[in-house]
Structure 1
Amino acid sequence: MSESSTPYRVLARKYRPQKFSELIGQDAMVTTLGNAIRRDRLAHAFLLTGVRGVGKTSTARLIAKALNCVGPDGQGGPTIAPCGQCEPCLAIAEGRHIDVVEMDAASHTGVDDIREIIEAVRYAAVSARYKVYIIDEVHMLSKNAFNALLKTLEEPPAHVKFLFATTEVNKVPVTVLSRCQRFDLRRIPAETLQAHFAGVVEAEGVAAEPEALALIARAAEGSARDGLSILDQAIAHAGLADGEGVTAAQVRDMLGLSDRGAIRRLFGHLLEGDAPAVLAAVQQQHDLGVDPSALFRGLLETAHGVTRAKAGGAEDPALSTEEREAYAEWAGRLGYATLHRLWQLLLKGHGEVQTAALPREAAEMALLRIVHASQMPDPGELIRRLQSGEPMPAAPASPPPSPVAPAEEQAPLLALPTDFPAMIDLLDTNGKKLLSQQLHDYVGLVRYAPPELVIRPQKPMSGDFTRDLAVALKMITGAQWEVSIGDGPAEPSLLDQQKAAEIAARDAILASPVVKAAFEAFPEAELIDYSRPEARSATS
């Protein structure tokens, strides 16, 4: 048959593993199976679980081959390295062996389908050593079907092996799990996938940039099948005209990924707090057809890459030299707190963009929120300043009132309180009772020079306390107050001063000759109430 008449086979099928040595990323499972076969300690039922495309069904077929291989001379036994040449190996690879039955549980969910298997297991294999039943997506069987299978699964005939594959092992009943030997197939590392794809393109005679293969491996998310499907599409997308191969730029364009350089520039604008540049970058990406969600994914990957670089993590092979240098530079000057806060803001923005009715507008608003946050001091820095008594950073100055604003919209300018107690009374009479109580009970005065006020709290206060106090005083007096926390000598709070005055007055009364004589005459007497001389003169 000529090459042109040969039907094309997609890469995911063409490069499906035919030997355990070709099964990538599952070395632990292969070792376990090899030991079990060599020692003749094979379980009667296997459960293979893992995400899509990691090789569950391929592994099941390989196990069927390993159990039934007879070798090129027809005299071999079970082996971890099936020959691939004998009739059982060839028939199983082509899906035509009469004793290896594959069933898709997604379309055969009922108890009647399982009853057929239960009836058939009683009969010996026609030509193979073992009769093998491969049930894919076994979690989709009905509850009754699982129950019907239990007895046969626990005590099958010696010539029968069950191989189950599932992506959702949590949906398989515990009674079934307890009767199977379970293998959890791992996600295939991106580096392993990249090396595998390099071998595939070499076998196909196609040139491909290493960065392009790294991008495909990352997009595959640990699935060899997904990665081969993307690679198939990338080869078709490239066209391969004039000796060209698969390039990273073509893969990014095909997958709808934003240009990495543009993402880095946007990330830099966010850190600089440059709002016009951020909006211009978003507009540019929108014009290029980049989805806002892809834009945020790129920014999240950048934030993650910078944090990994700062933590000393292994370098991502998919990163270009420029990206590594940029990540290292940002990692050197950004703190962990800043990076974690940036990650949370980007993650929140990504969620908003995905659910917004206007994705582009939502992306702009989320990025502007990050720009605003970049101009705010770090929470840790604020706590440090509060604890050390350093002045807080001033809020951005408010614009002056419009000259055409009505008079009633402008704050009236009142005479400033003469002292700290008068200021507290002014707050109380103007409805700011919580602030006045906090100042009266828990705050010591360091300096009062209106409109400047320096205080020292005696207990932890809200982080917005000084700002709220300044705003309240401005609303009441019309003046721009500067309220800060100092660490110099502070007076006791007004509450403590009142308590000290009461104790002093009581001690003075107890020390008077008349009261001392009364206590000597009546030792069990108590001083229940008293009034100071100035109080009596005021009421007389």
Structure 2
Amino acid sequence: MKNFVVSALKYRPASFDDVVGQDAVTKTLENAIKHNQVPQAMLFCGPRGVGKTTCARVLAKKINSNIEKTNSFSYNIFELDAASNNGVDDIRSLIEQVRIPPQTGNFKVYIIDEVHMLSGPAFNAFLKTLEEPPNYAIFILATTEKHKVIPTILSRCQIFDFKKISFADIKNFLIKISTKEEVNYDNEALSLVAKKSDGSLRDALSIYDRLVNYTEGNITKELTYENLNEVSYETYFQMIDIIKNGDIHEALILLDQIIKNGNNELNFIDGFSSHLRDLLVAKNINSKNLLNLDENLEKYYEKQSTGLTTNTILSAIEICDNCINKFRNSKNQRLLVEISLMKLCSLFEKKKKINDHNEQNSIIEKLENESESKEPENVTIIRKDKNKVDQNFNTRMVSGLSISSLKEKKRIVNENLLKSKIEEKKINKEEVTQEVLLKFWNKFSEDLNEKGEKNFSSILQLSEPTLKNNYEIHYTLSNNINKIELEKNKNKLLNFLSKNLKNDLLELILKVNKEKEKKFLYSAKEKFERMKKINPSIEKMRKDFKLGL
């Protein structure tokens, strides 16, 4: 059996020209070599799989004019894995080697990988050598976690920040090696690999090797989704369409199919949140380049985003984000995701009702304008005195002798019938003021207090509600406990306010003030005093049972 070499090693760059997506770093290093200005201590930092160790090896070869494309290293290049050689004795051994000048070539290059893993004493032992190395020694340190390297080391090094490799660069590289290896592929499949690698070319090549083996050299999008346990874009588009229609049952059925296909609930809700983010980005021409998708998929996103408002998408993302945060601690994780889908359906259904209501109002206004602007022939309009009757009241007398008058009579009947049908469906939405809101808010709190629901009543008195957009009631609480209690009873509160304020569109939005929450850390005595204010009978109980604080 022929020895297999993974793509990450097979296509490892042998020169700076072959390095993918790090043009700023490679150009700087090439110019430093060209002008003989190579620093003696360098720190390469950045995410995994972006070319730090590779660039260090290429640089080490070029410094000693060893630019042959081979895997062998000259005797002047030394590598130390700090993850497994992180003790002070290992660094002392390295320092001893540094004292010996090179036998061939001009420089000895020391590459220390994962340098952040060195212990504190090892870092301290290395300081002096790093600050004043021999003129023939060059140190290249590499790390994925720069913040773990002590400041005294950082100040002695010239720092090179490696960035994540772009989606386009990774995909183009995968296409290049697919062509070279004569592997068939779908564009969408390679796009998924590039996106899943999250800027790491090594991860992308690892996934690519896995797919080549799984698909036997024919990488299709269906097999890619299956092998990577990813939910397809088509499924997310389908879920959005279902949620837009407010169909809870269909949403739950589709979720069940997704789980049966091998995807877990967290993977779905996380991907759905990203899908909503992409829809938000697709709504604006200037931000479309943030999608990192093929042109065909971009068109689908743009098309679906046109039917959604920015506020609706943001609210949907917030629901998904809350679900993800609660997922780990949930005992019934599937139920948590299903509840989130129900909330999303309700959100879109509510927005749809508001839009339908606004459309009805526009129809009514249009009919009223038409009836006022067009007065038919052979029709006498008799208006009563404005002081005696309402100004909008008018009576039409139509002669029944002509065909035109009969047509007009039929038109008026149909118009009145349409108005009556629309008014039957009309939702109460009287204008609400802050003053009136506070009045009924306090009245509801007083009623609760009289009924003995003192805890709920006190929560409503913690701060004042604020009215926004004529139907949004924003209320800030001091902690999550009060928020949970108010959410349990908010329907009772909203029913009372809707009835008295004659507005069926009222919505209660609860927030927690984190800074204020920190201030509410009571001592035992303060807790008792606060409880006593809410329920004075506690003091009598304390005296009866001779309890102390």
- Checking the alignment, whether the CA contact within 8 Å between 1:60 and 1:134 is kept in structure 2 is yes
Deviation of 1:121 after TM superposition, in Å, equals 1.1
Aligned to 2:332: 358
Counterpart Cα distance in 2 of 1:461 and 1:234 = 51
Question: CA-atom RMSD, angstroms?
Answer: 3.6
The answer as to 2:500 corresponding to 1:483 is yes
1:366 aligned counterpart, secondary structure: helix
Preserved contact between residue 80 and residue 111 of structure 2 (Cα < 8 Å): yes
Query: Is 1:349–1:367's contact at 8 Å kept on the other side of the alignment?
Result: no
3-state SS of paired residue (1:123): coil
Which residue, 146, 152, 171 being the options, matches 2:129?
152
Letter matched to residue 347 of structure 1: D
**Percent identity over the alignment?**
31
Match of 2:263 in 1: 290
Please state if 1:199 is matched with 2:199. Answer: no
Give the partner amino acid of 1:483. Answer: N
> How far off its partner does 1:462 sit?
6.0
Note if contact 1:133-1:163 (Cα within 8 Å) is conserved in structure 2. Answer: yes
Counterpart in the other structure of 2:306: 332
Equivalent residue number for residue 507 of structure 2: none
Q: Which residue, 69, 92, 98 being the options, matches 2:75?
A: 98
What one-letter code is carried by the residue in structure 2 that aligns with 1:256? N
In the TM superposition, what is the alpha-carbon distance from 1:342 to its structure 2 partner?
Answer: 0.8
Q: Please give the alpha-carbon distance, in whole angstroms, between the structure 1 residues aligned to 2:232 and 2:345.
A: 21
Unaligned stretches of 5+ residues in structure 2: 359-428, 434-442, 465-469, 477-485, 504-549
Contact 1:353-1:360 within 8 A present in 2 as well: no
Alignment partners' CA distance in 1, 2:292 and 2:151: 41
Aligned to 1:53: 49
Distance 1:353 1:129, change over 3 A: same
CA distance 1:236–1:391, change in 2 (3 Å): same
- 2: CA distance, partners of 1:352 / 1:65: 51
Residues 221 and 162 of structure 1, relative CA distance in 2, 3 Å threshold: same
- Which among 178, 201, 204 is matched to residue 224 of structure 1? 201
2:14 is matched with which residue: 10, 15, 18? 18
Q: How much has 1:160 moved relative to structure 2?
A: 0.5
Give the drift of 1:364.
Answer: 1.2
Alpha-carbon separation, structure 1, partners of 2:159 and 2:444:
74
Could you tell me how far 1:326 is from its partner in structure 2?
Answer: 3.5
Q: Which amino acid aligns with 2:431?
A: E
Give the drift of 1:14.
Answer: 0.4
What does residue 276 of structure 2 align with?
303
1:262 maps to 2:258: no
More displaced stretch, 250-259 vs 293-302 = 293-302
Q: Summarize deviations over 1:465-494 as a string: whole Å, max 9, x none.
A: 998677569xxxxxxx832269xxxxxxxx
Q: Distance in 2 between matches of 1:172 and 1:360?
A: 42
Q: Map residues 442-453 of structure 1 onto 2, 5 A cutoff.
A: none
Q: In structure 2, give the amino acid aligned to 1:281.
A: L
- State the shift of 1:69 in Å: 1.0
Larger-Rg structure: 1
Q: Residue 501 of structure 2 aligns to a residue in which SS?
A: strand
Equivalent residue for 1:372? 346
Distance, in Å, in 2 between the alignment partners of 1:339 and 1:425 is: 38
Structure 1 contact 47–183 (Cα < 8 Å) conserved: yes
- SS of alignment partner, residue 46 of structure 1: strand
The aligned length equals: 398
Q: Residues 466 and 484 of structure 1 are in contact (CA less than 8 Å); yes or no, is this contact kept in structure 2?
A: no
Aligned pairs (5 A) from 1:431-510: 471=495, 482-484=499-501
Change in CA separation of 1:428 and 1:344 when aligned onto 2, cut-off 3 Å = closer
Closer/same/farther in 2, CA of residues 151 and 98 from structure 1, 3 Å limit: same
Distance 1:369-1:131 versus aligned 2 partners, 3 A rule: same
Q: Is the 8 A contact 2:164 2:199 kept in 1?
A: yes
Distance 1:311 1:304 in 2: 12
Could you give the per-residue CA deviations for residues 242-266 of structure 1, whole angstroms, max 9, x where no partner exists?
Answer: xxx2111111111101122122111
Q: Could you tell me which residue of structure 1 aligns to residue 293 of structure 2?
A: 318
CA shift at 1:47, angstroms? 0.4
> Is 1:208 matched up with 2:188?
no
Of stretches 462-471 and 351-360 in structure 1, the one that deviates more from structure 2 is 462-471
- Separation (CA, whole Å) in 1 of partners of 2:141 and 2:39: 13
Query: 1:228, 1:330 → 2: CA distance?
Result: 33
SS in 2 for 1:60: helix
1:204 to partner: Cα distance: 1.2
Q: How far does residue 371 in structure 1 lie from its aligned partner after superposition?
A: 2.1
Q: Which residue of 2 aligns with 1:143?
A: 120
1:461 to partner: Cα distance = 8.8
CA distance in 2, matches of 1:11, 1:108: 28
Are 1:115 and 1:148, in contact at CA under 8 Å, matched by a contact in 2? yes
2:322 — aligned with what? 348
Counterpart AA for 2:44 = L
SS at match of 2:84: coil
Following the alignment from structure 2 to structure 1, what is the Cα–Cα distance between the partners of residues 7 and 311? 45
Partner of 1:535: none
**Pair 1:53–1:428, CA change in 2 (3 A):** closer
Please list the CA deviations of residues 272-305 of structure 1 after superposition, one character each: whole Å capped at 9, or x if unmatched: 2211111111111122222112211331222011
DSSP-derived class of the 2:14 partner:
coil
Q: Which residue of 1 aligns with 2:150?
A: 173
Displacement after TM superposition at 1:195 (Å) = 0.2
Question: What is the CA-CA distance between 1:151 and the residue it aligns to?
Answer: 0.5
Change (3 A) 1:35 1:470: closer
TM-aligned CA deviation for residue 105 of structure 1: 0.4
Whether contact under 8 Å (1:260, 1:298) holds in the other structure is no
User: Taking structure 2 as the reference length, what is the TM-score of the superposition?
Assistant: 0.66
Q: 2:216 aligned with 1:239, yes or no? A: yes
Name the structure 2 match of 1:184.
161
TM value normalised by structure 1: 0.67
Q: 1:377 to 1:134 in 2, by over 3 A?
A: same
Change in CA separation of 1:469 and 1:145 when aligned onto 2, cut-off 3 Å: closer
* Cα shift at 1:423: 12
